Structure 1
Amino acid sequence: MTRPTERSHPSRQRRHWQLTPLAVASTLALGGMGAAQAQESTQSVVVTGIRHAIETSIAIKRNSDSIVEAITAEDLGKLPDVSIAESLARLPGVTAQRVNGSTQKISVRGMPDKYTVTLLNGREVVNGGESREVELDQFPAELINGAVVYKTPDATLSMQGLAGTINMQTVRPLDLANRQITINLRGEKNSNGEQIPGLSATGNRLSASYVDQFADRTIGLALGYAHLDSPEQQQHYANWWWANTANTSSYPPDWCGGDCSIKGLAKDAVALQGFEATAFSTNQVRDGVMAVLEFKPNKDLHTVADLYYSTYDKKYVGREFQAEMTTWGGAEYVNPGYSNWDGEKVVTSGGIKNVSAKLLSRSNQRNDTIAAIGLNNEYKIAGWTTVADLSYSKAKREESTSEMYAGIGSLNNGFSSFSINRNGFSQFTPSVDWSDPAIIKMQQFWGQMGATRFFDVNDEAKAIKLGGRRDVAWGPVTRFEGGLNYAERSKDYKATKVAYDMKNGSTIADFPAGILMSPATLGFGSIPAVANFDVQQLLATGLFSSRPDDLSSAPNRQWGVAEKITTGYAKFDLDFTVGGLEVRGNAGLQVVHADQTGTGLRWDATTNSAAPISGGTSYTDVLPSLNLSTSVGEGNVIRFGLARQMARPNMEDMRAGIRDVARAQTGPGLWSAKGGNPKLEPWRADAVDLSFEKYFDKRSYAAVAAFYKDVKSSVYNQDIPYDFTGFPDPCVPSGSTTCTPVNTYLGTVNAPANGKGGYVRGSEFTLALDAGRLAPMLDGFGTILSASFTQSNIHQGNNLSNPLEGLSGTATSMVFYYEKAGFQARVGQRYRSRYLAAVRNAWGDTSYTTIEPERITDLQLGYGWDSGWLKGLSVLLQVNNLTNEPYRTKMGVDSNSGKVANLLYPAIYEKYGRQYLLGLSYKL
């Protein structure tokens, strides 16, 4: 009997089943394959490459008790992607979010990545970010042998998520038949070219691995190294905000004297209020090392020690032009033109005078280090296999982001012409030359000549797992496995800022000799040239002094979280017959006890200082799970999953910091503040899954799946009761204001808290087809198609205008491949519909934006020699982001337009270019 795996959710929306052409394709393919089965050859054919990897992945899915999706490499170093994130993004029900052009965040079943747990060899992975979610672009695909996405729980996993669990795996050297040495070398080029003069658009990738077995295959060793030196050349354009300027209530009345309309515009027009255009050049260097030592001297003892270590250095520079076009800034339009955007009258062309504009030079440097070591020991005694697993991992991030400013002083400036593009780069032609060294000066804006923000993150985890398993004959129970897992994790986060001033007190000054370089271009926005200067070189002149800035925000940006998680687990493998059907699967139980502490700062506005504060809580969750599968006819598998699931809170939300403390001056004098919540508990849900799978051969199957998650408790900001005893009284008499005496220390803190839930539900469709089954002439061709449809009535932050973060209603993936006689070709496209995403602003704080639909297309072409003196050599041409798909976000108009929720207006538009790679691989 086969053991299936795949996750889905019960879509009760008829349109889901009617929408997808995949269902039609599946039906036709099934009929064709059924007819072709009679012609199937009885000869055994050994396949390698793409088809071998597909076979292995399908076998994992078919033989798993849980509903899973899997990816595997043909050989170590053969996953065709820059990082494991890109490989995962092709799986059914899995979607990816691009961050500055890199595929980084992975969502499972329409839920944010924060609700997915990522493991490495079954152990929790730490990261250098602010939250739990793992930045998967830091894991080279060349060092990962495969990954399994669990859509339904397995009680033996050390940690599990509410959306799913991703378990990345390194190679086990004794699983290979013999020695294997692989070397990969690729050159890389970005089609955008050098966005900043002198910063290269070319790079390279190098990886090497060695796997061998010794002492009569009792010792196995695997070593791997992967180097990435990759350029990112980004064209960035962002609209700041839009407003109906005749709408005086859009602004505080004192901003514009009661009339906020802009000169030269019709009173009922919606106008852009500001924008930025930036060219970024980025160099990212990642070095990863993997080592596995396996020892199996006899059938009773099996020990595996594994190490993963990587450094990830990312440096970018940016040249940015900013323009503010507001009524209080004196903006005036000349010969404006208007367009109708879904019933809104929008200013889209003309000229503008009296624009407040400036240049920014940006510099960012980030250094990440991740180290993980594990030791797993299995020993068989008295019918039991005992397991002891020890692990330790640590991540560290040091990052700085700097900016310095330039302007043209009191000179009048504006745009001789502009044209606003609703779906691309808008065009602005400046009326002055922003590259002219005679008029460009260092200039103060926002009360500073520039600033640097520093980020320091430390994340550490250690765990021990003790357990055992044995085959039993307890009625339907065929195997028992149980044990205890204890884990400790701590994350410390600190973000600070310094502002720069001229030492001589000036707010505008000429650039020192030799600082201005060859001009940079922002031609994608029709801005022909801008002054080009380097932040670090300017700071090194000694003209500037620094001062700490924005101290009152420290409670949001300096915190720590520590947690101790004790998990008792038990799993019973099942095999029984009911109604003539053989049923297999497992029943599992986890009892999870969490003890957590959050630390932070309490801001005291009366003394402009911060004091330490802490808090915490503990709680226990009981998480039962059931996975069942049965075969109905040849190759047909039905799977059912039922479970209680949870996702531990976002670590940033668990901080104890308190800021903006206030006390009412009238009435009972209640207190108020904003902050984190160290007593926050998890998201919790009851989930049911159903899947039907039809397997035709090793590389062909079709699957239909559905899932439903009844979310009992979600997390969003609320006003929660708080006792402010011991806090200094923030109500200080000033002028005619009189503060009432303190008569209570009770009040509320607006902070993340557990609240009402809802549902997340969906359906998934998959077809993997070896086209050779349909006709001999198609031998070597194949395809993998998938589509998922997801819905939820949960709103991000309990705001009815926002959908659940990360939820795309529709996600599809198409892969077409050919492999025969040494030739390999693969083209893949993944699509994701509009979704709300969490992004980080310059301060590293969370904000939300709506990302427009994306279709990302990749192409790989290759040839490998399997005989002769070139045996083992292969060549590869790869193009990522083949169509140069833009990254786009949308926004609503400012107050009272009536179109806020419709997201009519373009916000961010970015192009990252095509990534070309040409390389060689050699396997010994």
Structure 2
Amino acid sequence: MSTVRFSLRLTLLCTSMLSVTPVFAQTADAPPRDAGSGSGTAEAGRPDDIVVTGARLQAEREVDAKRQISVISDSISSDEVGTLPDFGLGEALDRVPGVSTIQNNGRGESQFLSIRGLNADYNLVEIDGVPLPANELGRRNVSLDVIPSSLAQRIEVYKSTNATMNGNAVGGTANLRTRSAFDGKGDLFVGGRFDIGKWENERVRHDSTPSGQAELVVSDTFGPDRKFGFVVSGSYFRRDSSSLNSAIDSYNYFNPTTGAKLDPLKVDISDANPAPARRRWLHYDNVRQRYGLFGKLEFNDGIFFRASLTGGYFEHRNNEERQSNILVANGNPVAASITPTSGTQNSANAQVDLVEYDQKRTIRYGDFHAELTPSDRLFLNFDLNYAQATYYQDARLATYRIANNNNLVYTYDLTPGGFTYFDMKNPDFAFNPANYKQYEYGTTLDDNKENALTAQANAGFNSHDGDRGFGIQAGGYARFLDRKYDKGVDNYRPVSGTNFLLSDVFSDVPYAPYNGRGQEILFVDPRAAEDFFSSNPNGFAPNPSSAAGSIQSDYGLTEDIYAAYAMGRFATDRLTLTAGLRYEKTDLATTSFNLQDGDFVYGQRTQHYGDWLPSAQLTYDVTRRLRVRAAFSKTIGRPNYDDLAERATITTDSDTGDVRISSGNPGLKPRRSNNYDLSFEYYLSRKTLFSVALFRKEISDEIINVRNQSDEMFDGQLVSVTRVQPVNADKETINGIELNAIVSKLDFLPAPLNGLGFSANLTLLDPTPPSVTMSDDVTRRQLSALVESANTVANVKLFYTVGPVTLQGAWNHRSPMLLTVSTSDPLNDIRYDTSDKFDAQLRVKFNRNVTVVGQIKNITNERPERKTGLDFRLLREQLDNGRAYYVGAVFKF
């Protein structure tokens, strides 16, 4: 019966909903290679627009692009990509309607893509219609901060899908369209930008150096009749700064009358007094650098044949020194001292540790693309792409501790929602490096490499944007991916009888956190710690767990995807209807060391599945100005790589002996989603757009991590063992609405107010989150929200131009976002609090070639916060990154 209902629903959709091309656009812009066009015509306009056009022209281009792209979409043009101090592609995407991004640990640049509030696991990132390999540990996602934003002619975000497009995009697809030498008239162009910047939060243990960036683009056409062309570009970015993470990692709850500790799983703790159990400061000195090289060689005879050979190399390096100070309560606070906002702790542990990270992520690719147009109505194209992504991290660590000690008595001062202050009764003891004994020294290596070979071909008849009547298009796709991950652990502990102290390697650099009430963080000198370890080879013994740690996380993975599609199209002057069917077959194999009866056994697991992915779209021009679009599609979301490998990562708490075993699930199924979209677009003029989009996603086989805790025999002892494994959960439904307005100039206002313009968008989600099984293997609870998804996302850009001067401000808002989920205690769920980011820019055009730019990043000095506890009332982490100031220029010749 369900099959009948689905068939009927699909039939109705195919007759009333499908993808279109704009009818009233006189010159249609080419969709991406995989989105249904074979013309490959470049965007009208010159490549130098990235440095000379202002916010107003960029807003008009957004309006034009929304008209021209054949699916429901939004975009940002090259003009805007160059205006704010964007570190990479992620920050540029932050200003696309319905798009937000997840920052790198809340401290770095925008890293993972969120479309319509849905987390990065739902979305796909492409360059010129080809998916990029993943350059992040574990996840399938692309780290956007590796890719320079200057590479893009335009970034298009597709929110509906047709049969020509990759099916692995439940949320949507971001496609970066690169520059062409044949843009505009194909004349010689030399342009770029440079600026120098300073972050308020400078490095503490090192001399700070300027931040900034430089970009250069050169393009031209040459040869007989100028049928050949080239584009070359280079970019460099450097951020020199520091960040502070102030954290209360966990809380306990106490009876307000008796002071007795309460079990949140057994009693109501809504009136209980919370008490912090662990305070932690993490200070980061960072130098982040990105290098980008891009080149394209093209041929275009203007009639029959067009081809390009493209190559790119992008590298991101992060040199990070993380210094951590931790204070852990030993037992419970004094019962009589506990109030809703304060208490006294009579015993505690303390720890000072250092981790130096040398991290490098890269993406490199080569692409050959060819297009044939034997006639005005017939086209064929072919694409072959080879890409490689790497992640390499070398971490060196040193740890120093004070065991349970009554000299670490402290009182705490708690403000719900704010940072909890700890005041030491004996600060001379707590902050004396001679009281901290060395616990460990070692290195950890993460080495990940992913190779992807992709080929695709398309052919179509009468299916260009401007064609009328019936048309057809078909094509094939193949992608062969190989991924290998290797972890190395080399850990040492001081031998019995040694007395190695923090004072031996102490870095006497004064630093008092802004929220520390004068307390200073203790720092380890990394070079002194390394030299001390090398000078005392007989004082350290290898940790026996290093051997297991070096193999238990390793895995290899191959994933072969084969796809084919066919799509029909019918168009009149006002109506465009398309319907298509795509089939994707996936062959997956993973190899890893699987834990069996206490031993690691090497083995291989395979999985094979196929998906039929129907889609349908309709576009109807009700009037010259009002357009209606409707769409249906079925898409999938393949699991993350770490989740698929049958491996087991075992960690043991050195204080309690508790064991945590995180394992993969090679039988994990992909998410599958039915997607419905309805969009109303009102084009008041070429300068003004108002749109409303409604959408619904019905997702089955959602993927969540399940944690189960029990007492088990491990290494001959009865200990608490927590097992974590991803599983397919029940269904979830997401309903949403997206509002968008672009007004490039308020012409109706009197001068000088008519220089004002703005763009604004708002996305609202109404999800039904999935349920998780609690650690008792019986109880189920529904999550409070979707993981890593915000129910409200808003962007507002306001700009004012008078003569050669343009002033611009940008605001990005994101509502609270669930980050992690606990299956042992819901009060340990963690979410990001509301985020509001403000940036501003002033541009002064000196002449047609040079514009001077000044800008401020994070004007309000927003400190991202993570909350936990009942109704997320308690602060878990607060991250201070500071403001940034840049001055520079954009130029063209």
2:821 aligned with 1:821: no
Q: Which residue of 1 aligns with 2:5?
A: none
Q: Which residue of 1 aligns with 2:526?
A: 535
2:874 aligned with 1:880: no
**Equivalent position SS for 2:522:** strand
Letter of the aligned partner of 1:679 in structure 2? G
Q: Could you tell me how far 1:906 is from its partner in structure 2? A: 1.3
Q: Which residue of 2 aligns with 1:232?
A: 241
Identify if the C-alpha distance between structure 1 residues 371 and 98 changes in structure 2 by more than 3 Å, giving closer, same or farther.
same
Letter of the aligned partner of 1:754 in structure 2? N
Q: Which residue of 2 aligns with 1:683?
A: 671
Q: Could you tell me how far 1:562 is from its partner in structure 2? A: 1.1
Identify if the C-alpha distance between structure 1 residues 557 and 533 changes in structure 2 by more than 3 Å, giving closer, same or farther.
same
Q: Could you tell me how far 1:704 is from its partner in structure 2? A: 0.9
Q: Which residue of 2 aligns with 1:71?
A: 76
User: Matches of 2:274 and 2:91 in 1, distance apart?
Assistant: 40
User: Matches of 1:501 and 1:879 in 2, distance apart?
Assistant: 47
2:597 aligned with 1:592: no
* Range with greater deviation from structure 2 (628-637 or 67-76): 67-76
Q: Could you tell me how far 1:362 is from its partner in structure 2? A: 2.7
Match runs of 1:482-561 below 5 Å: 482-502=474-494, 506=498, 508-509=500-501, 511-512=503-504, 516-541=507-532, 542=534, 543=536, 545=540, 546-547=542-543, 549=545, 557-561=553-557
* Range with greater deviation from structure 2 (220-229 or 493-502): 493-502
Match runs of 1:314-463 below 5 Å: 314-327=318-331, 332=334, 336=337, 338=339, 346=340, 348-349=341-342, 352-381=345-374, 384-407=378-401, 412-414=406-408, 418-432=412-426, 439-440=433-434, 443-444=437-438, 448-463=439-454
Tell me which of 300, 303, 321 is aligned to 2:307: 303
User: Matches of 1:188 and 1:624 in 2, distance apart?
Assistant: 50
Q: Could you tell me how far 1:530 is from its partner in structure 2? A: 3.5
Q: Which residue of 2 aligns with 1:280?
A: 284
User: Matches of 2:568 and 2:227 in 1, distance apart?
Assistant: 31
User: Matches of 2:471 and 2:445 in 1, distance apart?
Assistant: 53
* Range with greater deviation from structure 2 (408-417 or 596-605): 408-417
Match runs of 1:827-838 below 5 Å: 827-837=809-819
Q: Which residue of 1 aligns with 2:59?
A: 54
2:621 aligned with 1:631: yes
**Equivalent position SS for 1:528:** coil
Q: Could you tell me how far 1:539 is from its partner in structure 2? A: 1.9
**Equivalent position SS for 1:85:** helix
Match runs of 1:566-645 below 5 Å: 566-576=562-572, 582-606=574-598, 609-645=599-635
Residue deviations 1:483-528 (CA, integer Å, cap 9, x gap):
111101122223343322236752543644x753434433432253
Letter of the aligned partner of 1:3 in structure 2? P
Identify if the C-alpha distance between structure 1 residues 268 and 691 changes in structure 2 by more than 3 Å, giving closer, same or farther.
closer
**Equivalent position SS for 1:90:** coil
CA contact (8 A) 1:153 1:643 kept: yes
Q: Could you tell me how far 1:772 is from its partner in structure 2? A: 2.9
User: Matches of 2:748 and 2:457 in 1, distance apart?
Assistant: 50
Residue deviations 1:560-604 (CA, integer Å, cap 9, x gap):
221100110223332047xxxx21142222111111112211124
Letter of the aligned partner of 1:115 in structure 2? Y
Q: Which residue of 2 aligns with 1:760?
A: 734
2:807 aligned with 1:811: no
User: Matches of 2:856 and 2:392 in 1, distance apart?
Assistant: 32
Identify if the C-alpha distance between structure 1 residues 861 and 553 changes in structure 2 by more than 3 Å, giving closer, same or farther.
same
Q: Could you tell me how far 1:175 is from its partner in structure 2? A: 1.3
Q: How many residues align structurally?
A: 799
**Equivalent position SS for 1:173:** coil
Letter of the aligned partner of 2:586 in structure 1? A
2:219 aligned with 1:223: no
Letter of the aligned partner of 2:859 in structure 1? L
Letter of the aligned partner of 1:104 in structure 2? Q
User: Matches of 1:365 and 1:575 in 2, distance apart?
Assistant: 56
Q: Could you tell me how far 1:220 is from its partner in structure 2? A: 1.5
User: Matches of 1:732 and 1:853 in 2, distance apart?
Assistant: 42
User: Matches of 2:58 and 2:432 in 1, distance apart?
Assistant: 62
The alignment's C-alpha RMSD in Å is: 3.4
Q: Which residue of 1 aligns with 2:115?
A: 108
Q: Which residue of 2 aligns with 1:466?
A: 457
Q: Which residue of 1 aligns with 2:877?
A: 908
Q: Which residue of 2 aligns with 1:34?
A: none
CA contact (8 A) 1:426 1:525 kept: no
Letter of the aligned partner of 1:565 in structure 2? I
Q: Could you tell me how far 1:922 is from its partner in structure 2? A: 1.8
**Equivalent position SS for 2:512:** strand
CA contact (8 A) 2:168 2:638 kept: no
Letter of the aligned partner of 2:381 in structure 1? V
Identify if the C-alpha distance between structure 1 residues 619 and 555 changes in structure 2 by more than 3 Å, giving closer, same or farther.
farther
Q: Which residue of 2 aligns with 1:179?
A: 188
Residue deviations 1:660-693 (CA, integer Å, cap 9, x gap):
8xxxxxxxxxxxx973222322211111111111
Unaligned runs of 5+ in 1: 6-46, 254-266, 339-345, 661-672, 721-729, 737-748, 841-846, 893-898
2:22 aligned with 1:3: yes
Identify if the C-alpha distance between structure 1 residues 432 and 198 changes in structure 2 by more than 3 Å, giving closer, same or farther.
farther
Q: Which residue of 1 aligns with 2:43?
A: none
2:744 aligned with 1:770: yes
Letter of the aligned partner of 1:455 in structure 2? D
Q: Could you tell me how far 1:70 is from its partner in structure 2? A: 0.5
Identify if the C-alpha distance between structure 1 residues 451 and 752 changes in structure 2 by more than 3 Å, giving closer, same or farther.
same
**Equivalent position SS for 1:653:** helix
TM-score using structure 1 length: 0.80
Letter of the aligned partner of 1:470 in structure 2? F
Identify if the C-alpha distance between structure 1 residues 433 and 528 changes in structure 2 by more than 3 Å, giving closer, same or farther.
same
Q: Could you tell me how far 1:385 is from its partner in structure 2? A: 2.2
User: Matches of 1:505 and 1:155 in 2, distance apart?
Assistant: 69
2:704 aligned with 1:716: yes
Q: Could you tell me how far 1:364 is from its partner in structure 2? A: 1.4
Q: Could you tell me how far 1:427 is from its partner in structure 2? A: 2.9
Letter of the aligned partner of 1:397 in structure 2? Y
Letter of the aligned partner of 1:56 in structure 2? R
Q: Which residue of 2 aligns with 1:780?
A: 755
Q: Could you tell me how far 1:112 is from its partner in structure 2? A: 1.3
Identity among equivalent positions (%) equals: 20
Letter of the aligned partner of 2:867 in structure 1? K
Letter of the aligned partner of 1:166 in structure 2? A
2:98 aligned with 1:93: yes
Letter of the aligned partner of 2:742 in structure 1? A
CA contact (8 A) 2:205 2:285 kept: no
Letter of the aligned partner of 1:157 in structure 2? M
Tell me which of 632, 637, 640 is aligned to 1:647: 637
**Equivalent position SS for 1:485:** strand
Q: Could you tell me how far 1:631 is from its partner in structure 2? A: 1.1
CA contact (8 A) 1:233 1:280 kept: yes
User: Matches of 1:593 and 1:69 in 2, distance apart?
Assistant: 30
CA contact (8 A) 1:796 1:803 kept: no
Letter of the aligned partner of 2:703 in structure 1? V
Identify if the C-alpha distance between structure 1 residues 374 and 717 changes in structure 2 by more than 3 Å, giving closer, same or farther.
same
User: Matches of 1:783 and 1:374 in 2, distance apart?
Assistant: 38
CA contact (8 A) 1:190 1:201 kept: no
Q: Which residue of 1 aligns with 2:472?
A: 480
Q: Could you tell me how far 1:789 is from its partner in structure 2? A: 0.7
Residue deviations 1:547-572 (CA, integer Å, cap 9, x gap):
46366567762222211001102233
Q: Which residue of 1 aligns with 2:887?
A: 918
**Equivalent position SS for 1:157:** coil
User: Matches of 1:434 and 1:103 in 2, distance apart?
Assistant: 41
Identify if the C-alpha distance between structure 1 residues 410 and 388 changes in structure 2 by more than 3 Å, giving closer, same or farther.
closer
**Equivalent position SS for 1:52:** helix
CA contact (8 A) 1:314 1:365 kept: yes
